Amino acid sequence: MKLGLGSYAFRWSIGIKDRVPAHPMTAFDVLQAASEYGLGVVQYADNMPLDRLSEAEHHRLYEQAQQKGIALELGTQSFHAEEIERYLAIGQRLHARIMRVALDADDAKMPVSDLVDQMRPLLDTARKAGIRIAIENHFNFPSPRMVEVLEVANDDTLGVCLDVANSICAGEWPEETVQLLAPYTINFHLKDYVIIPDEHGVGFTIQGVPLGQGRAPIAWILDQLSHCDPDMSVLLEHWLPYDMAASERQWLDQTVAEAKKVLGGR
């Protein structure tokens, strides 16, 4: 597997919604960070929208990635035709082979047959561009529904971007999510988490931690993905709370070191 960075590894350094730093990281900064960590892939997700860059900047980003020996992937949110087509054009400039899409709450309400009908022409365009579309299991889109979408679509251009922990929000433990989605996985987001009981016994909090310090059954998950393409990307992310934003690079240092140890030993 090819180890890389997802742009959500720099959630607070890039900025999101109303939490934007004075000098946000750029796509070129993320590429440089991946190079410094000795990683081979960068995936730019919807927190770093590449459609805000010019065509010339897309070409320059690809050229710099080539010089550093880094493959580029991109991502967006929801299967809106205009956006998908726009991002497929960007993907071709970046020579990307994967475009990750996180389906949103509106997609979750749509009948599966209608959603697949909406996808089909976009899958045709992606196939011609040499790009596979990886749907990420997300907070509002349960894994059984994803499986239904994939089986109705029955198209090798479409697969899963498997996230270790996202589907906890959809009422699934990671073992359930992985068992359902591993057969369709073509892209992998790796993070870790802990469950912290409230000090007064009023429920609990699920919170991110650096890789290897939490409850994610990493070795077991990798076993379930042993059938996947050996060149499949493993993108590192984390759920760092905002009040710890100053520790973002420190968390990533620990996460990268652990990921290299775990994957290097397999």
Q: Which domain holds residue 167?
A: 2-264
pLDDT at 37: 98
CATH (domain of 164)? 3.20.20.150
Whole-angstrom CA distances from 232 to 5, 38, 55, 155, 209 are: 13, 17, 27, 18, 24
Whole-angstrom CA distances from 102 to 54, 173, 176 are: 24, 19, 19
pTM, 2 dp: 0.96
pLDDT at 170: 85
Q: Which secondary-structure segment (H or E) carries 194?
A: strand 192-197
3-state SS class at 2: strand
Q: What is the mean pLDDT of residues 120-126?
A: 95
pLDDT at 77: 85
Parallel, antiparallel, or unpaired: how do β-strands 132-136 and 71-77 relate?
A: unpaired
Alpha carbon distance 143, 160 (integer Å): 10
pLDDT bin (cut points 50, 70, 90) of residue 78 is confident
Q: What is the mean pLDDT of residues 83-106?
A: 92
pLDDT at 246: 96
Q: What's the number of domains the chain is made of?
A: 1
Whose CA is closest to 141, among 117, 162, 119, 118? 162
Mean pLDDT over the full length of the chain? 95
3-state SS class at 195: strand
pLDDT at 58: 98
